[in-house]
């Protein structure tokens, strides 16, 4: 029987809210399922830390663009810097969300969650790198 008040969107929203609540109380994960092999939890944590390093690199890149391309069109430089800074923020938040979702899946014995974020991030970094090459080439061509 289908609950009329439980739409797929409402279910996803409730799940997202539950995930965010776990960010601030990760000890509540222990209430779900069984404790996985600690090696898997540690691997999940290492992946989380790798995502945080990526986020910090994007933030550092945003500051570098702002500081080291002063002769570039200010609107273009600002857009590039803000894109990198925002990308770093999104990457950090996504890392936390992915860590919780993976930890929960491992505890429940479920498949690990699939994510398009690595592909989107890879493409975005590639495009940003090409834009930076163009900015530096224009600056050096002067």
Residues, the chain: 142
Digit-coded pLDDT (tens) for 30-52? 888 898 999 999 999 999 999 99
Given a cut of 70, whether residue 2 has pLDDT beyond it is no
Does the model's pTM come out above 0.95?
no
Which pLDDT score is estimated for 55? 96
**Which residues touch 48 (CB under 8 Å, ≥6 apart)?**
95, 96, 98, 99
Please count the other Cβ atoms lying within 10 Å of the Cβ belonging to residue 6: 10
| Contact assessment for residue 51 and residue 94, using Cβ atoms and an 8 Å cutoff | yes
78-107: per-residue pLDDT in tens? Answer: 888 899 999 999 999 999 999 999 999 999
1 Cβ partners below 8 Å, 6+ apart? none
> What mean pLDDT value characterizes the chain?
86
């Amino acid at each position: 029987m289908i609950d009329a008040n439980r739409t797929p969107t409402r279910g996803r929203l409730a799940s997202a809210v539950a995930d965010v609540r776990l960010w601030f109380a990760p000890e509540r994960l222990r209430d779900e399922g069984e404790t996985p092999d600690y090696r898997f939890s540690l691997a999940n944590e290492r992946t989380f830390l790798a995502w945080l390093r990526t986020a910090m690199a994007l933030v550092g890149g945003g500051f570098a663009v702002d500081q080291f391309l002063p002769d570039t069109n200010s609107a273009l430089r600002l857009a590039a810097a803000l894109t990198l800074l925002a990308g770093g923020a999104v990457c950090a938040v996504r890392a936390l969300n992915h860590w919780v979702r993976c930890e929960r899946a491992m505890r429940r014995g479920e498949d690990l969650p699939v994510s398009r974020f690595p592909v989107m991030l890879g493409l975005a970094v590639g495009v940003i790198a090409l834009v930076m090459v163009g900015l530096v080439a224009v600056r050096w061509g002067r």
